[in-house]
């Protein structure tokens, strides 16, 4: 189903901003890119009084809300465990590349976004699946360090190094 690469880092490091820029860069290259976003909080995509929320509250296992402009599938979980990552990935339409924001400890290759101003340590030193670090500062590491502000070079690296999904 194409290539996959995670974008990981602590809150405030710039993951979302980087993914937005990469999406534009890849779309200009004619590539179709999916994104999986992991959140650590409850999702509130619909007001509690709307039909779809009422269906879930009444016991529906999943509710698919559809319109001519898009659709969403909602499944309530108990908050203890996420749905299996490979199941989420399998639900996506085929794409050339899937970027994954979050899932720091997922089974896929990852690029870490690191900024010294976050005051957080590098994740790369603890995770062999982090294949490179994108930073606003030069670093000396055992993996490639890429300039966070050079989007075309980051897009090239990601396209060349993203792994083919075998989840």
In the chain the domains, ranked by start, together with CATH numbers, are 3-38+83-164 (3.40.50.300), 41-81 (no CATH)
| Mean pLDDT of each 10-residue bin along the chain, 167 residues long | 90 95 97 85 67 85 85 74 75 92 86 95 94 95 96 97 72
Phi, psi of 97 (to 5 degrees): -150, 140
Considering the entire predicted model, what is its pTM? 0.85
pLDDT of residue 89: 83
The two three-digit tokens of residue 53, written as one number: 């929320």
**Distances from the Cα of 131 to the Cα of 2, 27, 71, 108, 146, angstroms:** 18, 23, 34, 10, 11
Q: What does the pLDDT read at residue 33?
A: 97
């Amino acid at each position: 189903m194409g290539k996959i690469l995670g974008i990981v880092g602590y809150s405030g490091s710039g993951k979302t901003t980087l993914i937005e820029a990469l999406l534009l860069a890849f779309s200009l290259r004619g590539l179709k890119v999916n994104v999986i976003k992991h959140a650590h909080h409850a999702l509130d995509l619909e007001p509690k009084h709307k039909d779809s929320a009422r269906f879930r509250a009444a016991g529906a296992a999943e509710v698919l809300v559809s319109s001519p402009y898009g659709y969403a599938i909602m499944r309530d979980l108990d908050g203890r465990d996420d749905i299996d990552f490979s199941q989420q990935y399998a639900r996506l339409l085929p794409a050339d590349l899937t970027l994954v924001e979050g899932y720091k400890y997922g089974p896929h290759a990852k690029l870490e976004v690191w900024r010294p101003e976050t005051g957080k340590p590098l994740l790369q030193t603890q995770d062999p699946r982090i294949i490179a670090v994108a930073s606003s500062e030069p670093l000396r590491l055992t993996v490639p360090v890429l300039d966070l502000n050079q989007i075309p070079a980051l897009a090239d690296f990601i396209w060349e190094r993203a792994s083919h999904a075998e989840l």
